[in-house]
A and B are shown apart, each in its own frame.
Chain A
Amino acid sequence: MGDSTRKLKVAVISPTEVGFEGEGESVVVPAYDGLLGILYGHAPLMTLLGTGEVTVTDGETVHRIAVSGGFLQIVDNEVSVLARRVGECSSEGSGTKDAV
């Protein structure tokens, strides 16, 4: 299941910035009522965002993007995080899995 065809397309954007755009095997998103983990094959979903970190894991690489407010849409294995604001995380923006 680790082949690259089974990856999520992830975009984390705000009106002024692109926080992240790329692929990932799993994504953790701060939804309005708690963290939400997303893997390949997730059902189409729309939900509101809270404040926190979006974590995109792709193999050994982990990208973390701070978001606040907005909206999440999952359709056809495309994860769109439309945040009111995005920013760098105070901890390393991208690192290895061990660093999490």
Chain B
Amino acid sequence: MAKARDIGRRMRSVESTRKITRTMEMVATSKLRRAQLRVRQARPFAERVAAVVENLVTPELTDLEPLLRQPGRIRRAAVILVTSNRGLCGAFNVNLMRKARELLAELQASDVDAEFHVIGKKGISYFRFRNVAMASTRTDIGDDPSPDMARGLIDPLADRFVREELDAVYVVHAEFRSVMSTPPITRRLLPVYVPQERPTREPYYILDPSADEILARLLPLHLVSSMYRALVENVAAEQGARRTAMKSATDNADEFLTTLRRQFNRARQQEITSQLAEIIGGAEALKG
């Protein structure tokens, strides 16, 4: 039976861990709120731009506008994986990395030369450890991504797509569905999706300037806003995952503390009982 004092020491240790996890939970909650606001802002913008692009794009235009190039066969592709800089967020990063590995394996299986760009310390150290070649790594995108950061990421890739050095660009990031649900998803940014069926363009828009000129200006904006949306969703998802992980850690600590407290009291009681027995035994001996 453990000594009461040993159990007491463990209780103090669990208590201080609980304090840390509780604090992290609260920090994540407040960061989550800000991140959610940004998602709520970025999402409708990205969706509206995407809808307009889809509405304007026609198969005939794909020959005119280099960003709309539809490669017949994908030979070289770029995969951007967005992970977090910090851990302690449950399976968040692991899920993302698994998704990225699946995509890379899939591309390799279909004979595509894939280059791998990783954002976030967690992903970088994982793939460095596994000796996976990374074309570029970035750790400077923290809790507050900006459209300029997104532009910096996607523009060089888009340029290479135009120069026909790349045939596809994929982004793997976490989608923020809710605090509890942040599944990793893969989005294809390039080539731009072109509906084969001509959409019934209703209502009939006046286009000024012409569709291809609008697209030439709108496509870069579309790419940046999609990339920005990926970054922003990833931050919100990370904070959500961390909050959930830290909440369950705090709950576990509570449960553990209850058990320890029970053990502590029992051990203390036992000590007192045996001490009493000794005193009484000694007194009896003296009497005799």
Binding site for B on A (CB under 8 A): 13-18, 31-32, 43-48, 69-71, 73, 75-76, 80, 82, 84
Contacts and interface: CB of A to CB of B under 8 A. Distances in A.
Contacts of A47: 207-209, 214
12 contacts: A14-B45, A16-B41, A44-B203, A45-B207, A46-B52, A46-B56, A46-B206, A46-B214, A73-B48, A73-B52, A75-B203, A84-B221
Contacts of B41: 13, 15-18
A13 B20 CA distance: 39
A95 B49 CA distance: 31
Interface of B: 38, 41-42, 44-46, 48-49, 52, 56, 146-147, 203-209, 213-214, 217-218, 221, 224-225, 228-229
Given A14-B45, A15-B42, A48 B214 contact: yes
A15 B46 contact: yes
Nearest to B216: A48
Nearest to B217: A48
**Sorted from nearest, which 6 A-B pairs have the closest CB atoms?**
A44-B203, A45-B206, A44-B205, A47-B208, A15-B45, A46-B205
B45 A82 contact: yes
B202 to A, nearest CB: 9
Chain B contact residues: over half helix, strand or loop, or mixed?
helix
Given A13-B45, A15-B147, A47-B209, A71 B52 contact: yes
Contacts of A13: 41, 44-45
A16 B38 contact: yes
A14 B221 CA distance: 11
Contacts of B56: 46
Nearest to B218: A71
A82 B49 contact: yes
B48 A82 contact: yes
Nearest to B38: A16
A44 B46 contact: no
A71 B214 contact: yes
B50 to A, nearest CB: 11
A84 B48 CA distance: 13
Contact of A15 (B205, B207, B209, B228): B228
A83 to B, nearest CB: 9
Given A46-B52, A71-B49, A16 B42 contact: yes
Nearest to B147: A15
B147 to A, nearest CB: 5
Most buried by A among B41, B213, B224, B229: B41
A71 B221 CA distance: 9
Contacts of B214: 46-48, 71
Nearest to B53: A71
B208 to A, nearest CB: 5
Contacts of A45: 205-208
A47 B206 CA distance: 8
Nearest to A42: B206
A47 to B, nearest CB: 5
